[in-house]
Amino acid sequence: MKEDRTMSKFKLLTDGLVKNNPTFVLLLGMCPTLATTTSAINGLSMGLATLFVLVLSNMAISLIAPVVPDKVHIPVYIVVIATFVTLLQFLMQAYTPAMYETLGLFIPLIVVNCIVLGRAEAFANKHGVGESALDGIGVGLGFTCSLTVLGLVREILGSGSAFGWSFTGGADGMLAFVMAPGAFLCLGYLMVLFNKFLKKNS
């Protein structure tokens, strides 16, 4: 029995990473995915910022869900999420001002990220604190990994560097990959690879 429960807890974590990967399988949160992944570092920080909000809001919502009247549950969830986003915004402004400048508008936009509200609606209001936290970590990590990979591929092709470390000796990459069309192209091909990999392993 105990083993079964640890198995399911482990499954909560990995589901968000692979089977329900928010970016490559569910196609949620496309706006930050396409807009902020100009480099691996940017993708990673956007992912971690979302992870932070996701875990905290999942936990808070799972705690307050029983007492929230059904009619107003979405506004209440949004207020909870917005609180954590504001918190994150102040934290980033204080400790990582450069990253705060780069991500700019996309930090406050985490409030309307459909992954966060989606997990609150679909998971956190029906489960306990611990499980909701694990789910938040799983999905958040899935989002972070996808954004980092997407950012890495776009950075390698677009600027000829990886995590800010240039390997082309100053030569430019293919600029299209830093711009919007490259984001769509890379996302599409990565999705193909991811689904092929999933199919093979299932």
In the complex, the residues that contact other proteins under the rule CB under 8 A are 172-177, 179, 181, 185
CA 26 to chain centre: 12
- The residue (of 47 and 173) whose beta carbon lies closer to other proteins is 173
**Whole-number minimum distance, CB 182 to other proteins, in Å?**
8
Query: Bridge-partner residues for 161, per DSSP?
Result: 166
**Whole-number minimum distance, CB 78 to other proteins, in Å?**
36
- The residue (of 10 and 189) whose beta carbon lies closer to other proteins is 189
**Any idea which residue has 């400790």 for tokens?**
95
Paired tokens of 38: 């100009």
- The residue (of 26 and 174) whose beta carbon lies closer to other proteins is 174
* Cα 67 to Cα 49: distance, rounded to the nearest angstrom: 28
- The residue (of 126 and 196) whose beta carbon lies closer to other proteins is 196
- The residue (of 134 and 150) whose beta carbon lies closer to other proteins is 150
Spatial CB neighbours of 100, under 8 Å, sequence gap ≥ 6: 89, 92, 93, 107
**Whole-number minimum distance, CB 175 to other proteins, in Å?**
5
**Whole-number minimum distance, CB 174 to other proteins, in Å?**
4
**Whole-number minimum distance, CB 171 to other proteins, in Å?**
11
Other Cβ atoms closer than 10 A to 126: 11
Helix (H) or strand (E) holding 90: helix 73-95
- The residue (of 7 and 179) whose beta carbon lies closer to other proteins is 179
**Whole-number minimum distance, CB 187 to other proteins, in Å?**
13
Other Cβ atoms closer than 10 A to 10: 12
* Cα 189 to Cα 68: distance, rounded to the nearest angstrom: 42
User: Do residues 182 and 74 lie in contact, with contact meaning Cβ atoms separated by under 8 Å?
Assistant: no
